[in-house]
Structure 1
Amino acid sequence: MEPDAPRDPTPVDELPAFDRTQTRPSPVPPPEPIPRGRVAALVALVAVGLAIAYALLRVPTADEGANLLASFVDATASYQAAVETTRPEEARAFVLDQLGWDVPPPDLPALALVGVDLPVVGSTGGGAPSARDVVVPRFRYSGAGGETAYVYAYDYITLDQVRASFDLPDATYALLGENVPVDTRRLEGAYIVTWRRRSMIFTAVTDSEEAFEQIGQWAASL
């Protein structure tokens, strides 16, 4: 009797969001352990600096618009503060009360928190009758020169919930699984930085190239 044929592995795009960060090819191990302390931080900043330079120069492909990051860019125009505040603890308490998420607003460099709202970022079920809206916290920041930034906070569960409507680009999934989990890119005239802190993911959308560079370097140093 012939043995059963091995089953095909689950396609990458059908895996849960967290597992997708683990499905990329393993990088070639370095010949020596990664330096620690200041040297490691410098290496991380250089790597993100190169990624930011690439994002500023690259031209997005046509299919990059059909993803969650593009939805974040489009949604910034609809921002209406649910709470106007410069106090991070007040914004944090609002999100905890409304969603049950304990998410402190990121302390972005050269930008001050000015408010928070809860935008709809997609729906479960791909528009089926039983579908429901999925909302996430969005923090608004302002700089002394008039620059603005919007930071969306979400997790892998949220990504699984909205996959029928939107999804992150594969390249972003791959970078979020690296030792320095930061992705930088330019899309639809906006600058985007996405980074991960444990299971929580943040995406900053800004119209300022300077703020983009500062946020990217800051996220790489966390």
Structure 2
Amino acid sequence: MHELFEKISERLSALIDVIRSRFTVRNHFTNTQESIHAFQRNWKKKIPLFLLIVLSIGVVAITIKLMMTSRKPVDERIVIKNAKASTTLNKTLSIPILDANGKEITKLSYIIESADLRDEIIVKGKRAVAVKGREFLILSIKMANGYEKTLEVNARDFVRLAVNGNEQELLAPEIHNDPVALQPISTKYTRLGFTINDTDKQLTIFVGEIKGGKEKVTLGLR
């Protein structure tokens, strides 16, 4: 009788253990499911906040980039086409400067450094383009004042141009910065320009004082 009671007790204990283990597994599964559902609910609630954070980061990044870009210096210098043809001259004149009584007070160094043929030039800070069939002949001039006072000089007075071998009709520069103010003991650069046909040939300049002799200089640009 005692042995039978022990066997029944053992079987009941085993059955209780099985039931307990199944309940634990089911309870764990239920808890897991609830955790997943809770996470999903919380995630759905946090999506707007997450999107707001991402949007804010994007706005800040774009703002910083725009600020950095705006701080970069902008090169606003005008760019023109290169010269179609160019030649170095380095032709030097020594021009006497007279006072009101006609007495020479100093000499001006006048150098024609080079000559260019161009379709585009800059005039008063703006690009100027030659019309079809025309072009610019530009002379680069350097003047030096060794006197202790300021001199005002018309650079265009010392150069004339002949085209196509016609030396009877000399052209004066149309493009200039005259009068050029030369400060005491200083050097200044300027330019002279002519508008010519792009078919003109035998380009020759005559250099010298208006009332004096002139030197003929052939420009090898064509």
Whether TM exceeds 0.5 here: the answer is no
Q: If each structure's helix is expressed as a fraction of its own residues, which one has the higher value? A: 1
Indicate the TM-score class for this superposition, using the shorter chain for normalisation.
under 0.3
* Higher radius of gyration, 1 or 2: 2
Question: TM-score normalised to the size of structure 2?
Answer: 0.24
Higher strand proportion, which one?
A: 2
